[in-house]
Amino acid sequence: MALTELRVRTAKEMGKAYTLGDYDGLSLFVSAKGGKAWHFRYYWLGKQLRISLGTYPEIGLRDARALREEARGLIARGVNPKIHRKQKRQAAKLAGEYTFMVVYEQWLARRELVLEEGRQSTLEQIRRAFKKDVLPALHRMTIHEITRHHLLEVIERIEKRGSLSVAEKVRTWFRQLFEYALVVVPGMERSPATDLHVVAAPLPPVQHNPFLRMEALPLFLRTLRTYQGRLTTQLAIRLLLLIGVRTGELRLATPDQFDLDRGLWIVPVMSLKQRAMLTRRRRKRAEDIPPYIVPLSTQAQVVVRSMLDEFKLAQKYVFASATRLTDRMSENTVNFALKRMGYNGLLTGHGLRATMSTALNEIGYPRVWVDAQLSHADPNRIRATYNHAQYVEQRRVMMQDWADRVELLERGELEAANRHLIVHLQGRAEMTWSGDHASQRSRVQALHRMEAYPQQSILSLTETDRAGLSTYMV
């Protein structure tokens, strides 16, 4: 006969244990001292088993029947309720051990293990952002407790103070952290960090790094020459302007990368910003991809030799830290120096690349040469496979011309430094692109070959040079 609440409540001790049956395997066990507990009996693989569903009055009749139905549902799905309970208890125990703080530290340690050289600054960004915005809210919670709502609260606080780029990064780091947790945390079956971008505050328009036009370079170069800070910083800025590499590539430069006998800087692919794209597109290991070859003008070689002459035994990097010789120059050194020089908001380290590339394009050099010098990723996948090592000799002439123009600018000879290239079209009359007429280049028929030379050095080129350096398809 089915139990009632009254019968359960009034069941008395009888000096020995006894059981009151309900139905479908549920029963109330009454101990010799009057204690009451719910039992559920079921058959599993031909054997009768029993599990406890809790004590009365903490678990009433209605709740006991609900627990029984839950157990019967497990049996119907081929799950042993006894083993299921054991697994849940174990998962709950483990969940208590896997707090957000624990998983965060494990994830960060994992990132550090696989981090490529030159990317340690990313770890520092993560640590700063999590210490300030994330850990105060989440560090005591278990990883299983955290919901999408918890993560959104953290991100919304960051957005409200206007740090939209930080909020975007934190969203990305949340997604990566919980992807890691799905793999390593027992019982973790879903990530609360998916789709957070759907409600993200829109980012403001991208602000490109400010750069200087040619007419502003004479004053800049005079200011640089009288810079009162470290000579190393002054030379770093000068080299960035002369060759247009990224500040990160400059900071990672080591003596073995320079072949000054051939006037080349061989930048390994692991130092390049687009190394992930290169490895993905070419489906090769990074060590199998050709390095980025940077031809050095004689002026750039003088800078490099000056740095190598001062190289200390404890150093690893050509441009070492001011405080620790074993470390590389700080990522903020160049920008801080430019601010001290009075160029706050007018020029950045990355803007030195834009300064050089804008000038070379305006002078009339082929864009593919300029892009190759900048190590820009080529959107054409086939062409990108070959361009990394192409145009080296063409770029050698271009970069020597640029360095010569920088010298003219430093002497204040702006008109001479601004001279445009002489351009020859095979089978056509000679034309000189200059000023607003440079747009005529876009109207040249596609299959004509164009030869471009610095005006001051055209007569000194040999026929071999002309054949090797000057052919370009427009």
pTM over 0.75, yes/no: no
pLDDT confidence of residue 263: 95
Per-residue confidence (pLDDT) for residue 270, from 0 to 100: 64
CATH code of the domain made up of 100-199: 1.10.150.130
Q: What is the CATH number of domain 5-92?
A: 3.30.160.390
pLDDT of amino acid 419: 85
User: What are the per-10-residue average pLDDT scores of the chain (474 residues)?
Assistant: 89 91 93 93 93 92 94 94 85 74 93 67 88 93 92 95 92 96 89 91 75 95 95 96 94 95 88 48 57 94 95 91 90 94 94 95 92 71 47 93 95 88 44 38 32 42 40 30
Summarize pLDDT for 420-472 with one digit per residue, the tens: 876 443 433 333 433 433 333 333 332 233 344 444 443 333 444 434 343 33
Q: What is the pLDDT of residue 437?
A: 36
**pLDDT tens column, 41-59:** 999 999 999 999 999 999 9
Topology of the domain comprising 214-418: hpI Integrase; Chain A (1.10.443)
- Domain locations along the chain: 5-92, 100-199, 214-418, 420-474
pLDDT in tens, 256-307: 999 999 999 999 876 555 444 444 444 455 566 678 899 999 999 999 999 9
User: In three state form, how does the secondary structure of the chain look?
Assistant: CCCCHHHHHHCCCCCCCEEEECCCCEEEEECCCCCEEEEEEEEECCEEEEEEEEEECCCCHHHHHHHHHHHHHHHHCCCCHHHHHHHHHHHHHHHHHCEHHHHHHHHHHHHHHHCCCCCHHHHHHHHHHHHHHHHHHHCCCECCCCCHHHHHHHHHHHHHCCCHHHHHHHHHHHHHHHHHHHHHCCCCCCCCCCCHHHHCCCCCCCCCCCCCCHHHHHHHHHHHHCCCCCHHHHHHHHHHHHHCCCHHHHHCCCHHHEECCCCEEEECHHHCCCHHHHHHHHCCCHHHCCCEEEECCHHHHHHHHHHHHCCCCCCCCCCECCCCCCCECCCCHHHHHHHHCCCCCCCCHHHHHHHHHHHHHHHCCCHHHHHHHHCCCCCCHHHHHHHCCCCHHHHHHHHHHHHHHHHHHHCCCHHHHCCCCEEEECCCCCEECCHHHHHHHHHCCCCCEEEEECHHHHHHCCHHHHHHHCCEEC
